[in-house]
Amino acid sequence: MAKSFDFSVRSIDKLAQADASMALLEDIGTGDLTASLIDPGQQTIARVLARERAVLCGSAWVQAAVLQLDPYATLTWHVQDGQWCTANQVVLEVKGQARSLLSAERTALNFLQLLSGVATKTARYVEAVKGTKARIVDTRKTLPGLRLAQKYAVRTGGGINHRVGLYDAILIKENHIAAAGGIAEVLTRAAALADQADFVEIEVENLEQLSHALNAGARMVLLDNMDLTSLRLAVEINAGRAILEISGGVTLDDLHTLAQTGVDRISIGTLTKDVQAIDFSMRFAPIKDPA
């Protein structure tokens, strides 16, 4: 069986440490010239505010960015990952070295705004399918280097993950079918590798292909860019034999109608590739002059 990322707290912390290290190196390089203007001994309190309503996500990445530059900083979260925050709410207070916090600020906020954007969008899509059995699923259409972070954000927003990469599951698409010589042929080959994969799924574009796939033993089928009438017929033809997933051209406006067809999953690339970042800002408390 393939080993997908387990998304445990320990694994997330290790992932966040690695991501933050790369991002800080990218931003700081040989040194933060502007922060060098600040007394290295100066301590401060900084508050992170949400400027809009959102599902918070990315606390591990924020902490990794801050603590890598100031290991003695203390972070107090007022909103946890997966919780909604409101506009102008303080979500985090940090106490530490002013110079280090200034250097970590942009990296920390970049992770927070991106991952909260993914989680918030996912939560809105999940809300739209309430009352149906459909689950919202992500795709591999992620930002290079941040796939695991974005897939964590999808989970935080209430969605579920598709395959993490090419190594943990088999998704047979149009070109695979053509190269292998047909639906039955490619499914036969996939069966020989099934014990190495989390799942085997085949993509079909019409009802005839769906019937061929089901007759060849498919247990998970992706219905690609089918219209509403075809989707309803596909559910009837399937009659519960395989897990059915919708993909292609899905929008928030038509999501509930699509879910009502009776499909099991709806995969949506826009969750991770068209991200509207959430607006967060960091504000330092005024430094009092010594008496």
Q: ∠ CA 159-170-7 to the nearest 5 degrees?
A: 40
- Phi and psi at residue 240, to the nearest 5°: 80, 5
pLDDT in tens, 27-40: 999 999 999 999 99
pLDDT for residue 287 is more than 90: no
Segment 87-107 shows an average pLDDT of 98
pLDDT confidence of residue 289: 53
**Three-state SS for 172?**
strand
Candidates 223, 189, 220; CA nearest to 208 is 223
As a dihedral over the C-alpha atoms of residue 214, residue 185, residue 179, residue 211, rounded to 10 degrees, the angle is -20
- Give residue 5's pLDDT: 79
Q: What residues are annotated to the active site?
A: 106, 141, 173, 203, 224
pLDDT 10s digits, 114-149? 999 999 999 999 999 999 999 999 999 999 999 999
Q: Please compute the mean of the pLDDT values over residues 35-47 and round it to a whole number.
A: 95
Mean pLDDT of all residues belonging to the chain: 95
Q: Token match 């219209």: residue? A: 227
Neighbours of 60 (CB within 10 A): 22
Residue 198 DSSP one-character state: S
Q: Per-residue pLDDT for 1 more than 50?
A: no
Segment 171-198 shows an average pLDDT of: 95
Domain ranges within the chain, ordered by starting residue: 9-125+276-284, 129-273
Residue type, 242: A
Q: Per CATH, which fold does 9-125+276-284 belong to?
A: Aldehyde Oxidoreductase; domain 3 (3.90.1170)
Whether residue 153 contacts residue 115, with contact meaning beta carbons closer than 8 Å, is answered with yes
pLDDT at 65: 98
**What pLDDT, on a 0 to 100 scale, did the predictor assign at position 217?**
96
Strand 220-224 with 243-247, pairing: parallel
CATH class of 129-273: alpha beta
Percent of residues, the chain, with pLDDT higher than 70: 97
What local confidence, expressed as pLDDT, does residue 23 receive? 98
Euclidean distance between the first and the last CA atom of the chain, given in angstroms as a whole number? 66
- Residue-wise pLDDT for 213-249, tens only, equals 999 999 999 999 999 999 999 999 999 999 999 999 8
pLDDT of amino acid 97 = 97
- Domain 9-125+276-284 and domain 129-273, same fold? Reply is no
- Is pLDDT of 3 > 70? no
